């Protein structure tokens, strides 16, 4: 299974923010849209990711207040990325290694979408459920004749 399989099911709604916007505005968008991340875009290029983790770290460093901080001051300026052709096993490894919950999907310099650790976990579970249903159907349709029964040899 590849990242493109997740994007196909997930859809292509993307939420972005400019690095020079107030952090408070970005937090409001995240709360209003019930999302955990925003892709930070400047002049059409990916320049960072803002997740609730970066927001919390920034607020703690600033004594519990947002103040006049900009997105640029809180964002991860070197986010982990993948392509639509990246295998899910590789994405899981990458996300676990970096403790990343969100990953932009890029096609060269073009943003194709964002996948979350939840999206990856759901895709794996859905795939396993499908495989289990197919195996159960295969077992249920097992031939019942005497010559088709497995025999034990000693």
Residues 34-54: tens digit of each pLDDT: 999 999 999 999 999 999 999
Q: Count Cα atoms within 13 angstroms, Cβ side, for 152.
A: 1
Kindly report which listed range (36-50, 75-89, 136-150) carries the lowest average pLDDT score: 136-150
Cα 63–Cα 103–Cα 41 angle in degrees, nearest 5: 70
**Which region among 1-10, 54-63, 98-107, 126-135 has the lowest average model confidence (pLDDT)?**
126-135
Q: What is the pLDDT of residue 136?
A: 79
Q: What are phi and psi of 43, to 5 degrees?
A: 55, 40
Residue 57 near residue 74, CB atoms below 8 Å: yes
pLDDT score recorded for residue 146? 56
Looking at residue 19, what is its pLDDT? 98
Longest dimension (CA), the chain: 80
Residue 16 confidence (pLDDT) above 90: yes
More confident site: 123 or 146: 123
How confident is residue 149, by pLDDT bands cut at 50, 70 and 90?
A: low
């Amino acid at each position: 299974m590849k990242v493109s399989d997740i994007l196909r099911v997930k859809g292509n709604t993307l939420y972005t923010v400019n690095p020079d916007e107030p952090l408070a505005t970005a937090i409001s968008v995240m709360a209003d849209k019930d999302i955990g991340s925003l892709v930070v875009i400047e002049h059409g290029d990916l320049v960072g990711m803002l997740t609730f983790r970066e927001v919390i770290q920034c607020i703690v460093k600033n004594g519990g207040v947002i103040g006049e901080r900009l997105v640029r001051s809180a964002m991860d300026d070197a986010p982990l990325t993948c392509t639509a052709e990246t295998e899910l096993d590789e994405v899981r490894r990458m996300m676990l290694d970096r403790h990343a919950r969100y990953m932009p999907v890029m096609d060269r310099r073009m943003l194709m979408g964002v996948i979350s650790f939840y999206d990856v976990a759901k895709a794996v579970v859905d795939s396993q459920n499908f495989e289990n249903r197919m195996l159960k159907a295969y077992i249920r349709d097992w031939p019942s004749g005497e010559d088709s029964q497995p025999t034990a040899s000693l």
